Amino acid sequence: MQEHDYLIVGGGLTAVNALEGLREVDPDGSVALMCAEEEPPYHRPPLSKEYLQARGAGRELLHVKPDGWYEDHAHAELLAGVRATGLDAAERVVEASDGESHRADRILIATGGRPRTLDVRGRELDGVGTFRTVEDAESVRDRADGIDRAVLVGAGFIGMELAASLRQLDVAPTVVELEDRVWSRLLPPELSAEMQAHFEERGVEFRLGTSLRELKGDGAVEAAVLDDGSEVPCGLVVVGVGIAPNQELASDAGLAVDDGILVDEFGETSHGHVYAAGDVARFPDPVFGDRVRVEHWDHAKVHGRRVGRNLAGEREPYDHVSYFFSDVFDLSLNVFGRPDAADRVLRRGPVVAEEGGVALCGSGGRLCAAILVNDNESMDACRELVRRRPPMDEVEGRLADPGADLAEMAG
């Protein structure tokens, strides 16, 4: 039995930030970080963008921390390539894939999620896969050298970012989406249509309102057959239809789960001394009041640090307005709040264009989201606007003045 003061189960950005937060409160307690992947913790957002586009780029560019940081700076034991296989929440013992058992006074589950898959004929063909790991990115990058066309299933983050990156690699992508518009959870309908047109102008094809029926090929994929009966030639298929939370460790141990591990505002699960954070955790939203699960870099970073500090003895609630970001073609996109609920959109600038702008979205008469394109200077103001959720009539009145300051509106 290995004994620790703290055990962090997970090897992503959430886990590393939890370790940093923990060390800010308790510099001396013994810590082990159990990382299922052999690779040290790394950033995932660049996988579908910069890392994919940079032929020959090394993995060290992705690493969250430099070599030796965990042992020499954080004084933590990094258990790379070791997966948690069981949890006894009452005894606070985690069983590991290498046969070891680990007991800790406090445990944090930061196991993230795994890509959802599609049960279609031909899914086993070479050139068909999902996109989550550094190996996935390298596989797509290598394959892009020898193909002309690709099919991307899903018009969310993975599909849209891969489409933009593959165009930089001279591959013509076709994005297949069951919904009738792109980025339906990130953009209101009018901006979704403009984003689609922006991609189409740059050589991306969309097949909306349909889904994948089967894949054809002799050993390797050669074509995708869609539910509308059409057939799309391709040498690569990537399925990007969301992730499923890796909650089995918690659910098998009797912790409360509901499409994620249920936690309170401090990150504690239904069992004392066991916490969860990041993609796998469903937490109380500090702005909208319900429980949500957020799958993005900013939340992983901030939630991880806050829950890590609470793991070490603090008792401060998570109170952060997370944002989503993406970089596609010439657009840098940042989104606060819940734009998918919008029934009204007010603009400052063209928004979906190189010159960018800000869109303030409302639902039920109050602000529910802020969307920024190529405008990083307004991020703090828009974050506070979403936190305050002012009436949309007030927002419209202030925006009527071309010189109105978003920061003053947020105040």
* Fold entry, domain 330-410: Enolase-like; domain 1 (3.30.390)
**CATH code that applies to domain 2-40+64-114+243-311:** 3.50.50.60
pLDDT at site 322:
86
User: Distance of alpha carbon 406 from its chain centroid, rounded?
Assistant: 27
Q: d(Cα 101, Cα 95) in Å, to the nearest integer?
A: 5
- Please give the angle made by the CA atoms of 84, 89 and 95, to the nearest 5 degrees: 25
- pLDDT average, residue stretch 234-262: 97
| Strand positions, DSSP E, 305-356 | 323-328, 331-337, 344-348
Which tokens belong to 149? Answer: 């066309």
pLDDT at site 265:
98
Percent of the chain exceeding pLDDT 70 equals 100
pLDDT in tens, 82-120: 999 999 999 999 999 999 999 999 999 999 999 999 999
pLDDT at site 227:
96
CATH entry 3.30.1180.20 includes domain 117-239:
no
pLDDT over 90 at 262, yes or no:
yes
Report DSSP state, residue 239. Answer: E
pLDDT in tens, 117-164: 999 999 999 999 999 999 999 999 999 998 999 999 999 999 999 999
pLDDT at site 202:
97
Which secondary structure element, helix H or strand E, spans residue 196, and what is its range? Answer: helix 189-200
Which tokens belong to 382? Answer: 């828009």
pLDDT at site 55:
84
Confidence band of 387 (pLDDT split at 50, 70, 90): very high
Domains 2-40+64-114+243-311 and 330-410 share a fold: no
Domain extents in the chain: 2-40+64-114+243-311, 117-239, 330-410
Q: What is the CA radius of gyration of the chain?
A: 22
Q: What's the whole-number average pLDDT of the chain?
A: 96
pLDDT over 80 at 411, yes or no:
no
pLDDT at site 184:
94
pLDDT in tens, 168-206: 999 999 999 999 999 999 999 999 999 999 999 999 999
Owner of token pair 């659910």: 251
pLDDT at site 261:
98
pLDDT over 90 at 56, yes or no:
no
pLDDT over 90 at 409, yes or no:
no
- pLDDT average, residue stretch 301-305: 98
pLDDT at site 407:
85
pLDDT in tens, 306-359: 999 999 999 999 999 989 999 999 999 999 999 988 999 999 999 999 999 999
Confidence band of 408 (pLDDT split at 50, 70, 90): confident
Q: 70 exposed, middle or buried (CB, 10 Å; 0-12, 13-18, 19+)? A: buried
Confidence band of 384 (pLDDT split at 50, 70, 90): very high
pLDDT at site 74:
96
pLDDT at site 171:
98
Helix, strand or coil, per DSSP, at residue 233: strand
- For 13, residues 6+ apart whose C-beta sits below 8 A from its C-beta are 41, 43, 44, 64, 278, 297, 300, 301, 304
